[in-house]
Amino acid sequence: MRVLIIEHDHVSPPGPVAERFRFHGFTVDQFLVVPAEKFDEPNVEREFPNLADYDVVVPMGAPWGAWDDDRIGAWLKPELDFISEAISTDVPIFGICFGGQLLARTLGGSVSPGPKPEIGWTVVHTDRPDLVPAGPWFQFHYDRWQLPAEALEIARNSAASQAFTNGRNLGVQFHPELTPEMLLGWLNNGGRDLVIKDGQDPDVLLAHTEAERDTAKERTNQLVDAFLRDIAKLI
């Protein structure tokens, strides 16, 4: 089986999410949307891969809001169309953060800026701890989805809805793929100032992420396993 992982920027690799797919025997293809040299100007033309080549699709996070069509530019509609095609042909989607927001939009929901950012390790209130453990999970977002009637919310906290299912699809707002190395890349590409603006110490946040490394990976493994087994029904 083959999974397509859509990476929207050069500092957000799939990390342990991809590792877990490989553990289950998947061939992992990684598709980068915005190259490094266009990080500050993400309006690029992109042709998405052939969906028929894949058994499951994982759209990842992004530093841009899934509501900000003008800022994102030319590749947003093709990706929404790609996700829509996956839904209509029953190819499972596992949407992470921005990817989950795109999934919500495609299903008829919406995305808008939230009242405040959510940055750092947080616990979620989950109706499906077998699928989405309570965490803590790492968050770094300024927006939130409004789900359509067809989606079933299965986790939330005081900041935002945190996870939902729809058929063979799963969207999560948090970042199960995060590693300390990835966080360092975010901090070095504009994130440090955002963390400080949020009243936090980036070095403390990085140390906390290092301390969570092993247990966070275990939670991610549980999440990916349950998605593949119970939602996508691929293992």
Query: Which residues does 9 contact at the CB level (< 8 Å), separation at least 6?
Result: 32, 33, 34, 39, 42, 62, 63
The closest alpha carbon to 57, from 92, 24, 88, belongs to 92
Q: Write the CB contacts of 10 (distance below 8 Å, at least 6 apart in sequence).
A: 32, 34, 35, 36, 39
At 143 the pLDDT is 95
How do 161-166 and 169-172 pair as beta strands?
Answer: antiparallel
Task: Quickly list H helices, the chain.
Answer: 15-23, 69-72, 76-88, 98-106, 180-186, 192-197, 202-211, 213-226
pLDDT value, residue 30: 98
In this prediction, residues 11-38 reach a mean pLDDT of: 97
- pLDDT tens for 140-188 read 999 999 999 999 999 999 999 999 999 999 999 999 999 999 999 999 9
pLDDT for the residue 61: 97
- pLDDT for 70: 93
Q: Output the pTM of the full model.
A: 0.96
pLDDT for 165: 98
Mean pLDDT of 56-70: 95
Model confidence band, residue 212 (pLDDT cutoffs 50, 70, 90): very high
What confidence score (pLDDT) does residue 127 get?
98
User: Is there a contact between 130 and 51 (Cβ–Cβ < 8 Å)?
Assistant: no
Structural domains in the chain, sorted by start: 2-178+214-231 (3.40.50.880)
Grade residue 204 by pLDDT with cuts at 50, 70 and 90: very high
Q: What is the pLDDT of residue 124?
A: 97
State the pLDDT at residue 90: 97
> What is the average per-residue pLDDT within 74-94?
98
Cβ density class 212-228: b for 16+ within 10 Å, e for less: beeebbebbbbbbbbbb
